[in-house]
């Protein structure tokens, strides 16, 4: 899909050429050549607002039909986040225009030492992937042919560096899109069984080790928390495991544990009817883990990674979990269920415990866990709780690279004591509305024990209620890129 060429030729065969324009900055030679051919039309756009994408039709003056001009604002204002969004916007516009072949003048987007040509190439690849994603629908189709960008030529020096960079960015974007597709799939089409099939397909694609535990095996092992949540559904639960060994010489094994609730009605503590249809997204944590594993499978870093996904539905029948029930988790800890809609932390309890049994030396769990995180942080920032500041810092650094914002929440002892307010069990799964995101995360932390652990609550970030520059309404694939980046950064270490 990507071609790298050192020199731009104004007679190059492209449907459109993409250039960046900074406010009141001189054009580079190639952009100036285009501007001269268009009799100064680009000069008029030097004050284009940041994130603006303007189409300039060449009207036969140049060999290609269109120039996409991206407003970059002042150089000091331009960030990797704005560049990523700009590239995604171009990909979306190209899709609308049925543009198949793009040329990109890389140097026109270089800011300074902060964002060099290699960084720009990564963002081009990422933006093209993210911006081209569309939610699959099930409507009766017309005869209209869907056209996406088929090829992108980057003009810039250092061929191999740019080639590797743009491909890396594209891999990150496509891994995110894989997660988005899973989140957007209706619950009747993505049951725990089908989620397990998707995971196995991914494992076979990349040569991962894999295992899928069935209900009978879970009963034998004592996965009482996952089984309790699944009791209200006719769909059998699955415990999905993928393993990537990138460094046989290392005993380190970082584990991703993703919440795989393929539909959440709330159980007996049933949710309100408004927007319940969106609860197909309650497996956003599992989707993020699979998206990250897809990226890891393509890049193949020298790091060992374990993915564990406890999966079930949370529905209600005569066998469903009830408020007041006491269940025994895989760890042996007992849990009083005060709220059956606080089910994600239950299945993650067994997921985290199983990851530890499989040899995890550090843990990151990802889950659409609480509505409270939306109240605290809105839908643009993921909440985090940890027992290990070093691991937390690694994740924050990775999120800064990927542009996926994370905010660390406190883990003070009074919050932990709130979990021990049951008279009949070791833990209470829902101690109340106060500090709901914190106590939910710390509940999972009880099962992490002393193993370095971070919990990421993506209830706000896994689903966007309206389209953004980076993608359409629906699943976002949040944290897929950040999880993968944590692994890539470990390879450097």
Q: Is the pLDDT of residue 95 over 80?
A: yes
Average pLDDT over residues 88-113: 92
Q: pLDDT class for 254, splitting at 50, 70, 90? A: very high
Kindly tell me if the per-residue pLDDT of 421 is higher than 70.
Answer: yes
Say what the pLDDT of residue 493 is. 55
Q: Which of 234, 242, 245, 270 is nearest to 258 (CA)?
A: 242
What's the rounded mean pLDDT across residues 416-439?
A: 97
Q: How confident is the model at residue 24 (pLDDT cuts 50, 70, 90)?
A: confident
Q: With cut-offs at 50, 70 and 90, classify the pLDDT of residue 73.
A: confident
Residue 203 has pLDDT above 60, yes or no: yes
- Asked whether residue 137 is marked as a ligand-binding residue, the answer is no
> Region 438-446: what's the mean pLDDT?
98
| Residue 259 marked ligand-binding | yes
Is residue 206 scored above 80 in pLDDT? yes
Mean pLDDT, all residues of the chain: 95
What is the reported pTM?
Answer: 0.96
Task: Check residue 159 and give its pLDDT.
Answer: 78
Give the model's pLDDT for residue 380.
96
Tell me, what's the pLDDT at 142?
61
> What is the pLDDT, as a whole number, of residue 148?
77
pLDDT given for residue 11 in this prediction = 86
What is the pLDDT confidence band of residue 205, given thresholds at 50, 70 and 90? very high
Band (144; pLDDT cuts 50, 70, 90): low
* Pick from 3-12, 326-335, 356-365, 388-397: least confident: 3-12
State yes or no: 341 annotated in a binding site. yes
For position 439, what pLDDT does the model report? Answer: 98
Least confident of 339-343, 350-354, 398-402, 488-492: 488-492
Burial of residue 299 (CB within 10 Å: 0-12, 13-18, 19+) is: middle
* Residue 119 annotated as binding site: no
Q: pLDDT for 283-334, tens place per residue? A: 999 999 999 999 999 999 999 999 999 999 999 999 999 999 999 999 999 9
**Which pLDDT does position 240 carry in this prediction?**
98
Residue 145 has pLDDT above 60, yes or no: no
Give the active site residues.
271, 345
Domains of the chain: 2-175 (3.40.220.10), 190-492 (3.40.630.10)
> Would the annotation count 264 as a binding residue?
yes
The yes-or-no verdict on residue 143 having pLDDT over 60 is: no
């Amino acid at each position: 899909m990507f071609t790298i060429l050192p020199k731009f030729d104004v007679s190059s065969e492209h449907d459109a050429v993409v250039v960046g324009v900074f406010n009141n900055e001189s054009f580079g030679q190639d952009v100036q050549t285009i501007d001269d051919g268009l009799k100064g039309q680009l000069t008029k756009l030097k004050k284009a607002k940041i994130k603006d994408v303007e189409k300039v039709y060449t009207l036969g003056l140049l060999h290609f039909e269109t120039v996409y001009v991206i407003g970059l604002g002042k150089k000091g204002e331009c960030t990797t986040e704005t560049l990523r969004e700009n590239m995604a916007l171009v990909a979306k516009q190209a899709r609308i225009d049925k543009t198949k072949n793009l040329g990109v003048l890389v140097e026109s987007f270089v800011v300074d030492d902060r964002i060099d040509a290699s960084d720009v190439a990564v963002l081009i690849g990422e933006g093209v992937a993210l911006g081209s994603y569309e939610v699959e629908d099930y409507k009766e189709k017309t005869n209209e042919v869907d056209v996406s960008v088929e090829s992108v030529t980057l003009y810039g020096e250092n061929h191999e560096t740019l080639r590797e960079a743009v491909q890396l960015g594209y891999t990150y974007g496509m891994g995110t899109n894989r997660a988005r597709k899973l989140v957007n799939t209706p619950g009747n089409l993505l049951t725990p069984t089908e989620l397990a099939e998707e995971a196995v397909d991914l494992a076979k694609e990349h040569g991962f080790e894999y295992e899928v535990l069935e209900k009978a095996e879970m009963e034998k092992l004592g996965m009482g928390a996952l089984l309790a949540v699944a009791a209200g559904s006719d769909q059998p639960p699955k415990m999905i495991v993928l393993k990537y060994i990138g460094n046989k010489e290392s005993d380190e094994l970082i584990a991703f544990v993703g919440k795989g609730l393929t539909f959440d009605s709330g159980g007996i503590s049933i949710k309100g009817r408004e927007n319940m249809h969106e609860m197909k997204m309650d497996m956003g944590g599992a989707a993020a883990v699979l998206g990250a594993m897809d990226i890891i499978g393509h890049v193949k870093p020298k790091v060992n990674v374990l993915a564990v996904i406890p999966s079930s539905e949370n529905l209600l029948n005569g066998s469903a979990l009830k408020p007041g029930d006491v269940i025994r988790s895989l760890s042996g800890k007992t849990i009083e269920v005060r709220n059956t809609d606080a089910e994600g932390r239950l299945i993650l309890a067994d997921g985290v415990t199983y990851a530890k049994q499989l040899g995890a030396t550090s843990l990151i769990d990802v889950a659409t866990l609480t509505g409270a995180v939306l109240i605290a942080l809105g839908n643009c920032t993921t909440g985090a709780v940890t027992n290990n500041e070093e691991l937390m810092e690694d994740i924050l650094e990775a999120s800064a690279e990927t542009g996926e914002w994370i905010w660390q929440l406190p883990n003070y002892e009074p919050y932990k004591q709130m979990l021990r307010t049951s008279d009949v069990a070791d833990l209470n799964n829902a101690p109340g509305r106060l500090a709901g995101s914190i106590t939910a995360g710390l509940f999972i932390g009880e099962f992490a024990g002393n193993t370095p652990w971070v919990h990421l609550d993506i209830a706000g970030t896994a689903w966007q209620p309206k389209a953004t520059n980076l993608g359409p309404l629906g699943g976002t694939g949040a944290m897929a890129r950040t999880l993968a980046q944590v692994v890539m950064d470990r390879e450097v270490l």
